[in-house]
């Protein structure tokens, strides 16, 4: 009886080893990170946008910063951030008390992150840093203008966050001198 149990256990172990060999190729490919999947999705969306233009444009060959700006404008129709116009009674109010007819747009932070991902994807897909339309000065100016206009429309000034230093000794010393 003991030998039959050993055989069963031995068979199970052998089956497990066979299963591991079958699974091995799948385990060798690492799962794609959220950033990488977003980057791939964004690149595919941008490439499809350029293909739908008349005449179609190649993302690597003939794409210009103007195409990128048009794409960002196209994306505004899918935005969720209410941006009040100068004439709106709620212009400059962070929490308006009632709804208004002002348009919704893509939030600056979303556009900034999108441009970063597309800039990296362009070079990963064979583009050179010198010809990267996402790294253009006009794109940086556009993003700055969007950031500033959205901050004014919401009445919330944009302040660049300072990088915090992770210095435990300095923090401990300041708290002991303050007490």
Domain boundaries of the chain, sorted by first residue: 33-158
Q: Please, what is the average pLDDT of the chain?
A: 80
Furthest C-alpha separation in the chain: 90
Q: How large is the average pLDDT for residues 61-80?
A: 93
DSSP letters of 11-54? HHHHHHHHHHHHHHHHHHSPPPPHHHHHHHHHHHHHHHHHHHSS
Q: Is 113 helix (H, G, I), strand (E, B) or coil?
A: helix
pLDDT band at 116 (very low <50, low <70, confident <90, very high): very high
6 has pLDDT over 60? no
Instruction: Provide the whole-model pTM.
Output: 0.69
103 has pLDDT over 50? yes
Q: How large is the average pLDDT for residues 143-154?
A: 89
32 vs 47: which has the higher pLDDT: 47
30 has pLDDT over 80? no
Q: What percent of the chain shows pLDDT beyond 70? A: 73
Measured CA to CA, the distance from residue 160 to residue 148 in angstroms comes to 12
């Amino acid at each position: 009886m003991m030998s039959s149990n050993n055989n069963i256990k031995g068979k199970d172990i052998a089956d497990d080893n066979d299963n591991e060999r079958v699974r091995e190729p799948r385990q060798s490919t690492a799962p794609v990170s959220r950033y990488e999947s977003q980057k791939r999705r964004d690149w595919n969306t941008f490439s499809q946008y350029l293909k739908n233009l008349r005449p179609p444009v190649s993302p690597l060959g003939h794409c210009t910063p103007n195409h990128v700006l048009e794409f960002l404008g196209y994306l505004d129709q899918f935005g969720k951030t209410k941006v009040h116009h100068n004439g709106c009674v709620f212009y400059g109010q962070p929490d308006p008390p009632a709804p208004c007819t002002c348009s919704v747009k893509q939030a600056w932070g979303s556009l900034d992150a999108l441009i970063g991902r597309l800039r990296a994807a362009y070079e990963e897909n064979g583009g050179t840093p010198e010809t990267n339309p996402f790294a253009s000065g006009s794109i940086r100016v556009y993003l700055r203008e969007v950031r500033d206009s959205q901050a004014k429309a919401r009445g919330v000034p944009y302040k660049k966050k300072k990088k915090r230093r992770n210095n435990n000794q300095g923090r401990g010393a300041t708290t002991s001198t303050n007490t």
